[in-house]
Amino acid sequence: MFRHTFILISKDLRLEWRSKEVLSSTVFFAMIALTVIYFGFQPGRFQVANVGPGILWTAFLFSALLGMNRMFQAESERGGLEGLMLCPVNRTTLYLAKCGTLFVLLTTTIAATFFIFIIFFNVRLVGQLPQLALVAILGSLGLSALGISFGAMAAKTSARDILLPLLLVPIAIPLLIAAVKCTGAILAGDGLTTARSWVQLLAAFDVIFLAAGYLTFPTILEE
Amino acid sequence: MSRDRSVNPSPTPSIALVGAGLVTTLLALYSALVFAPTDRVQGDVQRLFYLHVPAALTMYLAILLVFIASLRYLQTRDAAWDELATVGAEVGLLWGTIVLLTGAMWAKPIWGAWWTWDARLTSFFILWLIFVAYVMLRSYGGEVEQVARFCAVLSILGFIGMPITHYAVEWFRTMHPGPVIMTEGGLGRGLPGSMLATFALGLAASVALFSNLFVLRLRLEQQTRRTQQIRRHLDLMETP
Amino acid sequence: MMTNPGYLFAGFALAWGLALGYLWFLSRRSAVVQRELEILEERLKQVSPQE
């Protein structure tokens, strides 16, 4: 099963690397979003310290939604999902593979978003990168889990653009809250130990929705 | 594949249900507006409590109903369960809207704001959003069988997410103390008997009214599905 | 004696308005669909008399 998963992930990532259609959309959208936020709020140093994490995760969330839409659209244009279902691959393996691909794309996106963020808003970092990476990974994992479930659903409907955010965001709110809290603690210099319950919540969220997504994916893909 | 239905798919709510609805509703109204004592601190606006909290509890019941119906649908693939889920979500959404609106009406004179992001309100609002998403998925989800599956998965994911959402929101809010307020929990402890009785009546009325609307909506749903089924059948027969 | 009557009234009116409005909508729509259903059932009977 893991071999299949790995093969599918690398195939998808190779395709993405060639076309770069998902990553280009998400990264540029993140840049646009952060620009709008800057002009809209013009946060000074004090505000950035307060709402910086929120700005970061908001911009990232919207980029991620855009990226998921693009990913599923590209997939269906290539006749992907149907074709894959003909392969001798478990539907659940397919879920893990898709999650893996999306996870890689999302972590790349959030890294890029963060990079733009610290430049635009002049945020100083003091060796907090490993902790930030952990939060980024946990956050992307949860979003991937939900994103594949809801993205697969939305892709099969007539209103896919609006349905994906509508389905995903309310259920992802705990993840958003926790991610912002963790990032805030790290950037404030307090470190993740002060935000331990939030990290645990993130991890719990990931486990719950990866499991639930894994179990329900065959149902979503039924013909 | 739905069960075969006769021309009259399902009866209107029974006399007993309608009767129960009317009686409890009138009693609850009288009780809430006249019988219950005026709250010393909040004044008469507090009477909205007898509408607001029962409606919220009823919506929680609706959530449970939709969840169970969704599970059973996925297990049995019997459209009857999907009908129950569809109807439960729609009437539940209406009840949730009533909760939010009456809450705002209560909040404005007492807290000075139409809305605050306190933990309970926020959690409830998120549940309401999930109901909205469910109803939209119903509308745009495509053909009947696919929509039924998708909505079932959504309700399961939403239900599973409830505990973690509850904790996240609560921790989130306790770090930002809001204005000093009289929460329903604070009211609940040591309620005088008359208030408790009024509340119980309010809850009975809410559930009875919900049930009546539920049965009516279920009838509409069954009628609608039957017409769609016949149309499909006729289309099949009339194409050469 | 009635403090804040406006909000109290508005709250109850909104709640009841929504509930009764939905009730009215349901009965109207149900009648329409019922008529439609009867017409369709007739057509079905005509097209497949051995049913």
Across chain B, which has 240 residues, the per-10-residue mean pLDDT values are: 43 79 86 81 81 93 97 95 96 96 87 84 94 94 90 96 92 60 48 82 93 94 92 81
Best probe of the B interface among C1, C2, C7, C25, by most B CBs < 10 A, is: C7
Say how many CB pairs under 8 Å bridge A and B.
Answer: 87
| Burial class of residue B41, CB neighbours in 10 A (0-12, 13-18, 19+) | exposed
Asked if A201 and B141 touch (Cβ cutoff 8 Å), the reply is no
- How many domains would you assign to chain B? 1
Examine residue B137 and state whether it is found in any structural domain, yes or no. Answer: yes
Q: What is the pLDDT of residue A220?
A: 92
Q: Which residues of chain B have a CB within 8 Å of the CB of A222?
A: 149
Contact flag A153-B141 (C-beta cutoff 8 Å): yes
Tokens of B34: 């006249």
What span, in angstroms and rounded, lies between the C-alpha atoms of A157 and A76? 12
Tokens of B174: 């306790």
Chain A neighbours, 3+ Cβ pairs < 8 A: B
SS3 B4: coil
Best probe of the C interface among B48, B214, B218, by most C CBs < 10 A, is: B48
**B142, closest residue in chain A (CA to CA):** A157
Asked if A195 and A185 touch (Cβ cutoff 8 Å), the reply is yes
User: What does the DSSP 8-state code read for residue B39?
Assistant: B
Find the mean pLDDT for residues A126-139.
91
Tokens of A79: 């006749």
Chain C neighbours, 3+ Cβ pairs < 8 A: B
ipTM: 0.90
Examine residue A71 and state whether it is found in any structural domain, yes or no. Answer: yes
State the pTM of this model.
Answer: 0.89
Tokens of B118: 């306190």
What span, in angstroms and rounded, lies between the C-alpha atoms of A166 and A152? 14
Shortest CA gap A14–chain B (Å): 30
Q: Write out the residue range of the structural domain in which residue A6 sits.
A: 2-10+20-221
Q: Which residues of chain C have a CB within 8 Å of the CB of B239?
A: none
pLDDT in tens, A64-97: 999 999 999 888 887 766 676 777 778 888 899 9
Q: Which of residues 105-134 of B touch A (CB under 8 A)?
A: 126, 129-130, 132-133
Give the pLDDT band (50/70/90) at residue C22: very high
Q: What is the pLDDT of residue B48?
A: 85
Q: Which distant-in-sequence residues (6+ apart) come within 8 Å of B39 by Cβ?
A: B46, B47
- How many domains would you assign to chain A? 1
Q: What is the pLDDT of residue B240?
A: 66
Q: Which residues of chain C have a CB within 8 Å of the CB of B209?
A: 19
Query: Is the alpha carbon torsion for A191, A195, A200, A201 positive or negative?
Result: negative
Examine residue B42 and state whether it is found in any structural domain, yes or no. Answer: no
As a whole-number percent, the residues of chain A with pLDDT over 90 amount to 59
Examine residue B223 and state whether it is found in any structural domain, yes or no. Answer: yes
What span, in angstroms and rounded, lies between the C-alpha atoms of A218 and A152? 11
Examine residue B106 and state whether it is found in any structural domain, yes or no. Answer: yes
Shortest CA gap C45–chain B (Å): 10
Q: What is the pLDDT of residue B7?
A: 41
Q: What is the pLDDT of residue B178?
A: 42
**Furthest-apart CA pair in chain C: how many Å?**
73
Examine residue A95 and state whether it is found in any structural domain, yes or no. Answer: yes
**B46, closest residue in chain C (CA to CA):** C8
Asked if B123 and B169 touch (Cβ cutoff 8 Å), the reply is yes
Q: Which distant-in-sequence residues (6+ apart) come within 8 Å of A113 by Cβ?
A: A27, A30, A34, A56, A59, A60, A63
What span, in angstroms and rounded, lies between the C-alpha atoms of C51 and C45? 7
Q: Write out the residue range of the structural domain in which residue B72 sits.
A: 47-179+191-238
**B144, closest residue in chain A (CA to CA):** A157
pLDDT in tens, A14-53: 888 888 888 999 999 999 999 999 998 888 878 888 899 9
Angle at B215 between CA B222 and CA B136, to 5 degrees: 65
- Give the range among A132-136, A199-203, B23-27 with minimum mean pLDDT: B23-27
Q: Chain B within 8 Å of A70 (Cβ-Cβ)?
A: no
pLDDT in tens, A116-127: 999 998 888 878
Examine residue B147 and state whether it is found in any structural domain, yes or no. Answer: yes
pLDDT of A1 over the 70 cut: no
Examine residue A15 and state whether it is found in any structural domain, yes or no. Answer: no
Using only C-alpha atoms, chain C has a radius of gyration, in whole angstroms, of 22
Q: What is the pLDDT of residue B132?
A: 96
N-terminal to C-terminal alpha carbon distance within chain A: 23
Examine residue A56 and state whether it is found in any structural domain, yes or no. Answer: yes
Shortest CA gap A158–chain B (Å): 6
Contact flag B238-C44 (C-beta cutoff 8 Å): no
Contact flag B167-A181 (C-beta cutoff 8 Å): no
Query: Is the alpha carbon torsion for A168, B141, A209, A64 positive or negative?
Result: negative
Asked if C31 and B220 touch (Cβ cutoff 8 Å), the reply is no
Using only C-alpha atoms, chain B has a radius of gyration, in whole angstroms, of 21
- Please state, rounded to an integer, the average pLDDT across all residues of chain A: 90
Q: What is the pLDDT of residue C3?
A: 59
pLDDT of C2 over the 70 cut: no
Give the pLDDT band (50/70/90) at residue A219: very high
Q: Which distant-in-sequence residues (6+ apart) come within 8 Å of C18 by Cβ?
A: B94, B97, B98, B101
- Please state, rounded to an integer, the average pLDDT across all residues of chain C: 86
* CA neighbor of B32 nearest in space, from A22, C11, A141: C11
